[in-house]
């Protein structure tokens, strides 16, 4: 490497290397190595999930959908209707009102579904943190690139000014006339 990370940190971030965060040091190093931080965090994470994690994500996706709510509501109405019809027709039913067996089933579904959804949400928050770190890195690299361009433009403007001054000092063809400069 021609440029040292410490010098680049001073020039672009206007800070000492020791005062930089881990992310800032990583970005400076990657800028020097010209590594592009183009990553799809969600796809990367999806590839690493185990069977149980994929299953939990699917359960959370289905359990949080309108289709699930509609089907479950139809199941509840069907359960209650069937029990009411059986009670009226034969005088007995497999789950008489107030549907205690149904309440037991609902409690078990909720007891299983809630932790599965929380597991999925926890994994999603990990993915979100990874994506935020990646976004920070991309934004910092973009800022460093813009600063480098500004520094380069300032340098070119300074060189332009020097050349203009040199052109003004060139003697004119006729005595006393300034050189033609726009």
pLDDT tens-digit readout, 159-171: 999 999 988 888 7
Contact between 44 and 133 under an 8 Å Cβ cutoff? The reply is no
Q: Where are the domains of the chain?
A: 1-35, 41-135
pLDDT tens-digit readout, 85-103: 988 888 888 888 889 999 9
Whether this prediction's pTM lies above 0.75 is answered by no
Q: What's the confidence (pLDDT) of residue 1?
A: 43
- Burial (CB < 10 A; 0-12, 13-18, 19+), residue 162, is exposed
Q: Among residues 85, 83, 112, which one has the least CA distance to residue 100? A: 83
Residue showing tokens 């004119």: 172
């Amino acid at each position: 490497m021609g440029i040292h990370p410490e010098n680049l940190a001073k020039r672009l971030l206007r800070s000492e290397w020791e005062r930089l965060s881990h992310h800032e040091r990583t970005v400076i190093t990657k800028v020097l190595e010209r590594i592009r931080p183009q990553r799809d965090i969600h796809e990367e994470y999806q590839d690493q999930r185990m069977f149980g994690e994929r299953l939990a994500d699917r359960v959370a996706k289905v359990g949080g959908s309108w289709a699930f709510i509609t089907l479950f509501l139809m199941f509840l109405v069907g359960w209650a209707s069937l029990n009411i019809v059986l009670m009226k027709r034969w005088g007995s039913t497999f789950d008489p009102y107030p549907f205690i067996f149904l309440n037991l089933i609902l409690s078990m579904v909720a007891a299983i579904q809630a932790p599965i959804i929380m597991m999925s949400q926890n994994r999603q928050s990990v993915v979100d943190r990874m994506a935020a770190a990646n976004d920070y890195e991309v934004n910092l690299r973009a800022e460093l690139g813009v600063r480098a361009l500004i520094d380069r433009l300032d340098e070119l403007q300074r060189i332009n000014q020097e050349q203009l001054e040199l052109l003004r000092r060139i003697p004119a063809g006729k005595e006393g006339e300034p050189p033609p400069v726009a």
